Every structure is written in C-alpha cells, then in structure tokens.
Structure 1
Amino acid sequence: MKDEYPTGKADLMTAFMVLAQELTVRGGSWAMINLPSWMSLKSFEAMRQDLLEKQRIVSMVHLGRGIFGSDFGSVAFVIDNVVAKESRGTYRRLFEQHVDVRSVSAIESLFRDSTYNNYEVQQSDFAAIPGSPIVYWLSEKMRRAFSIGRPLSDVANLRQGLATADNNRFLRLWWEVSDTRTAFTCTSREEAVASGARWFPYNKGGEFRKWYGNHDYVLNWEHDGTEIRNFGAENGGRPRSRAQNTSTYFSPSVSWSDISSGEAAFRRFPAGFVHDSTGHSGFGSETLLNQITLLLNSKYVMEVMKVVAPTLHFHIGYVGLVPVASGIERLPTSTLETMVERAQRDWDLSETSWNYEHNPLVALA
C-alpha cells in the first residue's frame, strides 16, 4: 500500500480511489460509492490535495446514514480525470445532521427534491481551507474567512501541558489533601517553590462547561515537580512523565478539553493552575484571552470546528486553525467578564467548589 498508493495508503477504500484514477484515461470519468471519511479527516489530506490538484469533481451526493445499512454514512461521486481549473461541481447533502438515520424511501424523496441542499462550488475554494476538506456546504463568507483570517495559533500561544504518566499517584481531588499544604493562587513556578506547598490546582480538562469551572483536581508539584520529573528514572531509566511547556504553568489561560461528546467548550482559567496534556490551553495578555474566549465560544467557531475538527477530538492543532479576523481587538471584554462571573457563581454554588460558602436554599430558609 505504502509503495503502490502513497497518497491513498491510509485506508483500502482510498487506495481504490487512487487506482480508479490510474485506470481512467486522461479526459475520462470514474465514479464510486464510498465512506465519507476521506472528505475531511487529516489522515486523507494528501489524497484530497492530489485529487483536487489533478482531477475534477463533477458531482457528489452525500447520502448520510441509512443507505446500504451503513452506520457511518456513504457518499456517491463522479470524477473527471482532468484538471478542474475554474469549474464548479454540483453537490447534494441529503441530511441535516450526521447522526440522522433515515429510511431509504425518505432519502430517495429528498433526492427527488432538486431544491433540497443543492450546492455549486468552485473546486479551488477547498484548497483555501487548511487540510483541503471537501466542505461544499460552507457559505462563501465562511470559506472566505479562512483566506482573510490569521490562524489562532499565530494570535495566541497555544500549548499542551503536563503528562504525569500516573495520575493516580500525583493527582488528588482538592478536598482530599491538607488545606495548609495547598497553594491556590501562585502566579509562577518560582512563587510555587517559595510557597513551600505540595499541592497546586490542576487543569485536566473535564466535562462540557463553558466560561468557567472544572476546578476539581490538585497536583503534587512540590519542589517544582521534582518527583514527577524523575518518575520512572529512579533506577537510571528515562522519565515516564512529560513536563512540557513549563514556562506557561501558573499563567492565566483559555482552556478546553481535547475530547467532547458534542461541541467544544472553552473556559477562562485564572493564574495558579498547572495545565494537563488533555486540558489544552492558550496564553497571552488578559485582554487577548478574554477576546479569544468570546470568539471560541461563538456560533461562528462552532461551525468552523465542524470543518477543521470533524471528529469529537479537539486537538490543539485543530483549534489552532480557527481563522481570526483583525477585528478581534474590538470585541467587548465586559461581555466575557459577565459570562465568566455568572458561570463562576454557578460553579461556587456546589459543595465541590473550593470557594463554596453556603447552600443557597438554606440561606433562604
């Protein structure tokens, strides 16, 4: 596979797509029904780019789930073995949500309605989007955003954090340890060392929650994480842990969990936290972080994430592709402050918050 079909080696289905191109005379056409994963996943990026550069997508029917008993959906397409130049392809999307499962008769009915989800797109527009996904349903303005905006990774300092290699050993819920040996507000590694504390707040992602929250865990970072840094190397071996990007530890951030059951949720974290490898984080000035958080929790970014992160994995590399327009500095930070304040009040109403004071129902009694 690697030698014969280098651009299609990620899957047998894409190897057949490459083979179909090779077997088709120049100027001829080939067609196929396939799984739709090749249209967006990063592992098929080389194959997509080669296809868009050398061939022309004439038409495509994106069928969704329900055809041939497929639980992953299916897509039918016709491709000319010619360079596309400025030509436009015709695309049909016979579903609203990827999770929709319809009967064959329902899908056939949608297909016969020629006005339903009918798109005409210039093929060169796909190349302007990172990874060249076949996202024919995007509006012209959304496609243009990738051309005029800067990637978020150029605007903010996006970093993964600590991988302890043994969370059971180095993490505790904050109420499981002594309050006198915990420091909640350190602003630097140097301040953490000077505090003499053993336990410090740890951002490890967590459940879906926007704006503020998921302050559950503390980390054994005593003596600047000496025990963690040496974990696995006690007998001359290599450390099992990865204390990466330590210059960002204890800094204010915007953060999100790398895996979600739905859309991504972005939260502001104050100074004092060490961030985990699954609690991806962005760093910068307080004003920039507030503006970025507003942007990332917007409907616009939710739609962008469907393009750059088509699975439920919101890796830092995917989020870094979000296009940011120059007008971000005009976003009102007062709005973000209001959202964070409300989310924090809600979080602190729970007894599992370290800022919990009293039950509001008891206070009203």
Structure 2
Amino acid sequence: MRAELEPLGSSYDVVVANPPYMGSSSLGRWMSAWVKKRYPEAYRDLCTSFIDRGFSLSRTDGYSAMVTMQSWMFLGSFERLRGKILRGHSISSMAHLGTRAFGQIAGEVVSTTATVFANAKSEVGGAYFRLVDMGSEAEKQAGLLEALADPNCGWFYRRDADTFRQIPGSPIAYWASDAMLGAFTNGISIDEVSDYTGSPNITGDNGSYLRLFWEVSSNEVSNKWVPYSKGGEFRRWYGNLIHVVDWTQTARQHYASNQTSTLLPEKYWYKGGITYTMLTSGKACFRHIDNGCIWDKSGPVICSLGTLEPIWLAYLNGSVAQLYLDFLNPTMNLQVKDVKSLPFLPIDDSNSIISLTRNNISISKGDWDSFEISRNFKRHPLI
C-alpha cells in the first residue's frame, strides 16, 4: 500500500487529471465532512476538490491541468475557490468546451472545461478558447486548432485573471468586453436602488397551503387566499399569476415556525414591483406585478423602485442584461444575487423608454386577460 501512496506524497512539474464529478451531498456523511475539512474552498464537488489538490501536488511554478465541469467558473457556491485561484494562482489556458465535447452520449448533458492552472501568480494573461457554441467533438477540435493558428478567429481571448475580480462573485467571464466589465465600476446595480430580499415565502406543504385561483371561491380571495407569485413559463412584461396562498394567521404561524417553511418578512407583504421566473430554459423573463401579492423563491419580486421601475423592467428584458446574466449565472436557476449584481449605466432619453415599457405591459396584460387562466378574464376576444 505504501508504494501505491508514495506518488501522492511527491510534487511534480505537471499534474494532469480528469477527476470524477460528485456533489458533496452525495459523498456520504464521513466523506463529506473529510472533504469539507481539507478543502474548505472547494468541497462543493469532488472535481473541484481535485482542482485544489492539484495545487499541492504541483511544484511552485508548476502546472496543474484538469478537465472538469464548468460550474466552478460561475456558480456562487464556488466563489471561494475562484477567489483562491485568482489570489494565489493563475489560469494559463482554458479550452471552454461546453456540452457535446466527448461524443454525443457522454458529453451531451455535462458542460465541461479543460483548464491549465499555473501554481503561481503570472503577469501574462491567460489564453481562452470559447468552443461552447460548436456542435460536436470534431468541431471543437477543429475550432481549437484554428484558434491556435489564427488568434483573430473570433473565439480566442486573452485575459488577465485579476480582471475577473472586478465582477461581483468573480465569474471567469473571459469573453466579456472591456466596456461590459467597466460598467460594474461606472454603473449602478439594482440592489442599490431597490428593496429586494433573498428570504422568500416557503409553505413547506404546497398541497395544503397553495391553490390555483379557480380552485377557491372568489369571495375568499384576499380574505383567506392571497395572489401568489410563483414564476411560471417564459413570459415577459405581465402575467403568470395563477396561484393563491393561504394567508390566514394560522397559516402564517405555520410558515414562521415549521422547520421546512419560511415566512416572507412582513415589510414585503403585498408589495408589487418586478417579478421574474427563477427557473429558465434559456432567456430570462421579467414582469410587472401589482400590489397585493405574496411571493416565493420561484417568483421573487424586486420592490420599491418607484419611478425607476419601467426603466429597470425594460433593461432587464433587454439583450444587454441577458449578456451579463449569461456569465453571472449561465445555468437554468436565476438567483437573486445574480439579478442584484447587474450593472446599469445612466440613459438620456428615459421618457421614451418609460412610455414603451408601459405600452408593452398594457399589450401583455391584454393578451393575458384574454384567456381563462387570468383572474380578469371576461370573454375570449374571438367571441
């Protein structure tokens, strides 16, 4: 056994690995505690623990090359790992592969990246190859070779790792332009101008406390049952408000005291603003929501924007905000902290934007109310 373990006690000029992927919740109690203790910045997944271990296996000024999931580049749960890498190490090169990197079956679901880490700070910017939009293993290979031959191909980037530290959460957004990065310094965030909590209402038992509005008497709505924002399908500007929640004192006491529940803080009760669908299939969608509602984690509400609400709603539904969200969190779960981090630069012609936004809300509301899933439905427009 000693002979087999000796290589792990040595250090090397280069360490190369394709580590296994497994979330810490699946490791088992003993293994999960062991990994958390020894790799406190990287314990969230086994493959990121291997990234951290690679630094101790490589010599000073050595290299560690890993093929891993791309999640460590963006997700908030790996922010501490990114901080450690950016403070004491460097990214020498990265082939950002995305899905379909290892054949149609094995690589269809998992988004991967192949990274060479330098075990020391470097003054030279890292080389990044963005291959995520190429559809097959062969196309990615050809794209990488083309980028090596022609750095002006359009998918090769050179970035100093310290650049990422000016972005909230330090995502490895190597393809972001200087102008986009500068907005984080020169602009304002929605967190600075709104009231927005990360503590939503959670019933803990939707079967008992949640209904579709047509399942209860209209006389009970606003007395026992209150409109409930819960995300829903892709829809912008207005709509998707089909649920009601039990908001009696007994129910609220349950939300506040039950271990699996959370009561929305009272200051946010019945506040309107901008809501969105947390679980997306690609593009984010933001909507105006009237006063009088409660909301859960699937449909958070950005409150207290006042006269700025139409401007922010237009921005959030626009292509620029989507570009930022693509690297702040390129997953299907749009988190509160990601929306809070979006930068916004002042604009000159706000009146026209306000007018267009209100018009979009009106059109979307008219469309929503023309179907029976709206509480304001009267009759179908074709009748």
TM-score by length of 2: 0.81
AA aligned opposite 1:277: K
Give the whole-Å Cα distance in 1 for the aligned partners of 2:206 and 2:225: 13
Q: Using the TM superposition, give the Cα deviation of residue 329 of structure 1 relative to its aligned residue in structure 2, in angstroms.
A: 9.0
Q: Using the TM superposition, give the Cα deviation of residue 282 of structure 1 relative to its aligned residue in structure 2, in angstroms.
A: 0.7
- Asked if residue 357 in structure 1 is aligned to residue 378 in structure 2, the reply is yes
Q: Using the TM superposition, give the Cα deviation of residue 285 of structure 1 relative to its aligned residue in structure 2, in angstroms.
A: 4.2
- Structure 2 equivalent of residue 112 of structure 1: 145
Partner of residue 314 from structure 1, selected from 334, 338, 347: 334
Aligned pairs for 1:113-128 (under 5 A) are: 113-114=146-147, 115-128=153-166
- Structure 1 equivalent of residue 361 of structure 2: 340
Give the whole-Å Cα distance in 1 for the aligned partners of 2:349 and 2:228: 30
- Asked if residue 48 in structure 1 is aligned to residue 82 in structure 2, the reply is yes
Give the whole-Å Cα distance in 2 for the aligned partners of 1:328 and 1:227: 50
TM-score by length of 1: 0.85
Aligned pairs for 1:1-365 (under 5 A) are: 1-68=35-102, 69-71=106-108, 72-85=110-123, 87-96=124-133, 101-102=135-136, 104-114=137-147, 115-159=153-197, 160-183=199-222, 197-221=223-247, 225-231=248-254, 238=258, 241-327=261-347, 330=350, 332-362=353-383
The answer on whether the counterparts of 2:278 and 2:333 sit within 8 Å (CA) in structure 1 is: yes
Give the whole-Å Cα distance in 2 for the aligned partners of 1:232 and 1:119: 49
Give the whole-Å Cα distance in 2 for the aligned partners of 1:226 and 1:283: 24
* Per-residue CA distance 1:167-189 (angstroms, 9 max, x = gap): 22233322233333334xxxxxx
Give the whole-Å Cα distance in 1 for the aligned partners of 2:258 and 2:155: 55
Give the whole-Å Cα distance in 2 for the aligned partners of 1:238 and 1:31: 47
AA aligned opposite 2:249: T
Q: Which runs of 5+ in 2 are unaligned?
A: 1-34, 148-152
* Per-residue CA distance 1:125-163 (angstroms, 9 max, x = gap): 111111211111111111112222233222211134322
The answer on whether the counterparts of 2:225 and 2:244 sit within 8 Å (CA) in structure 1 is: yes
Residues 6, 286 of structure 1: CA spacing in aligned structure 2 closer, same or farther, 3 A cutoff?
A: closer
AA aligned opposite 1:178: S
- Structure 1 equivalent of residue 32 of structure 2: none
AA aligned opposite 1:106: E
Q: Using the TM superposition, give the Cα deviation of residue 76 of structure 1 relative to its aligned residue in structure 2, in angstroms.
A: 2.2
Residues 238, 89 of structure 1: CA spacing in aligned structure 2 closer, same or farther, 3 A cutoff?
A: closer
The total of aligned residue pairs comes to 338
AA aligned opposite 1:142: M
Q: Using the TM superposition, give the Cα deviation of residue 245 of structure 1 relative to its aligned residue in structure 2, in angstroms.
A: 1.8
Identity of aligned residues (%): 30
Q: Which runs of 5+ in 1 are unaligned?
A: 184-196
